[in-house]
Structure formats: structure tokens, C-alpha cells
Amino acid sequence: MTSEKTLIFKDVTVRYHDKSASVLSGITMGVSSNERVALFGLNGSGKTTLLLAATGLLPFTGRIVVDGIELTKKTADTVRDRIGFLFSTPEDQILFPRVIDDTAFSLTRRKIPVKEAHARAHDALARLGAADLADKSPFQLSHGQRQRVALAGALVAAPPLLLLDEPSSALDPAGKRSLAVTLSGINAAMLVATHDIPFAASVCSRYVLLNAGKTHSEGVDFKKAELCLDDSKI
Ligand SMILES: Nc1ncnc2c1ncn2[C@@H]1O[C@H](COP(=O)(O)OP(=O)(O)O)[C@@H](O)[C@H]1O
Ligand SMILES: [Mg+2]
């Protein structure tokens, strides 16, 4: 059912350390299954922090529910298995000296046999037009290629939720168009942190705009969001 929420934040307040000041406060929002939502905000508004909080990596108060599982210390590993995460710098998530091993990692770490994991990793790379990169070293790749490899790794286990941090940054116009088409064809709920409004408008059906750690506004009128993101109007 499309109305089921794959991601819920309820009155979420996040700090980087138990006693430091909150970086996000009182965030309430959700993403329905297969819905794609843009997360807007100026630099430092808390977009990356909100994505990280959903993976259980930061202390928070309030409730976070992923694919029906309440996020707690005990459930954090299970919750992370339901999430595909794309970091804003793909090199931060590439771990192996060969692309195919890297792409297959979220399967091999779940003890899926290497042969099957590699076959699925090949499929994920092929979906992203990156099948020819399988035997390369990630360190020989361009930024756009690395990003496709990182995205293939996020998708390979078919998670119900994708959290994408600035996925279009540093891509050329053709790369952005191709990424938008790819994301639009994926069956998963997505929260896409970005300040690239045209890209978000081509991928997402609505947006939530953060300002200084709070929800500033939300809606479906991406032109309005563009006006809000102009420094003087926020
Ligand atoms: N590791 C960290 N420790 C403490 N504060 C941090 C850390 N990372 C980010 N922050 C602070 O959290 C706030 C939100 O940052 P961030 O979530 O990265 O914003 P955005 O992704 O919207 O640019 C900023 O004030 C930033 O300085
Ligand atoms: Mg960020």
C-alpha cells in the first residue's frame, strides 16, 4: 500500500554527542513506501545529520521507525539492513580494491555465497550502466563512475529505503539526467538530501525544507522551495 510509511521521524531531536547542543530539533516527517521525497536546506541546515540519524549512528530523542521497525540500540543493525545509503563523497563508502567485491559487500557480509552475491552485484552495476567497471579498481574511476558504483552497492540488497546525500553533486548534466532516470525506476522509498532543485524536481514528488535544524516548510511546489532557499528569504 502506497500510504504505508517506510520512514517515520516523530519529534526527533539529534545531537552529535550526548551533552552537546541539538543540531536538529522537533523533526516530524515521513516517507511512504516507494515515495521519493527531497530534503532541502542550506549548508549546515541538518540534512546529512537527519539521514545519519535514521541509520542509528547518532544519539536522538523522539521516534524513528524504518520499514516498521522502531530504531533503538538493539534494532540498529536490523534497521541498517533495510537502508541503502549513498554518502555525498562516494570514496567514503568504497572499501575494496575491486568494484565487484565492493558492490557485493552488503550481500557477502550477510553470508550470501560469493557467486550469487557477485551475480547480483553485476546486475546492480548493469542497471546503472556500469557493468564494464566490475573488474576495475574504484580508485581508477571518475567521480561519476565512483558514484554509480557506490549507488550500485546501496541498491544491491534491494533495501526498502534509500537515503541519498547530495547524489547529483559533481555530476555533469548528462550524468544528472541519467541518475534521475535510474532513481525514478527504483522501487524503494527515498529521502534525497540536496540543494539541486531541478534535479530533485525531476526525481521527487514533494519536498521538506530544513532551516537551522528545524522543518521550515514542506510542499510540492519546487519553485517555491527555490525562492525559500534564496538566503534572504529563509
Ligand atoms: N561530526 C559533527 N560533530 C558536531 N557537529 C556536526 C558534525 N557534523 C555536522 N555538524 C553540525 O551539524 C549541523 C548540520 O550539519 P549537516 O547535517 O552536515 O548539514 P547539511 O548536510 O544540511 O549541510 C552543522 O551546524 C554542522 O556544523
Ligand atoms: Mg550535508
* DSSP of 58-70: S-EEEEEEETTEE
Nearest CA to ligand 1 atom 24: 44
Q: What is the pLDDT of residues 162-217, one digit of tens each?
A: 999 999 987 889 889 989 999 999 999 999 999 899 999 999 999 999 999 999 99
Mean pLDDT of 52-81: 96
Kindly identify the ligand whose nearest atom is closest to the C-alpha of 41: 1
How close is the Cα of 169 to the center of ligand 1, in Å? 18
What's 133's DSSP letter?
A: G
How close is the Cα of 166 to the center of ligand 2, in Å? 7
E strand spans, 126-175: 161-165
Q: Is the pLDDT of residue 230 over 80?
A: no
Side-chain half-sphere of 200: how many Cα atoms within 13 Å? Answer: 28
Mean pLDDT of 83-94: 89
3-class DSSP assignment, residue 199: helix
| Rounded-to-integer distance, Cα 221 and Cα 201, Å | 9
Provide the whole-model pTM: 0.94
Q: Is the pLDDT of residue 148 over 60?
A: yes
> Are 87 and 118 in contact, with CB atoms under 8 Å apart?
no
Mean pLDDT of 31-37: 97
Q: Is the pLDDT of residue 3 over 60?
A: no
Any residues with CB less than 8 A from the CB of 229 and at least 6 apart, and which?
40, 41, 42, 195, 197, 209
Residue in 154, 199, 233 with CA at minimum distance from that of residue 39: 199
The predicted structure's pLDDT at residue 1: 44
Q: Is the CB of 47 under 6 A from ligand 1?
A: yes
Mean pLDDT of 122-147: 92
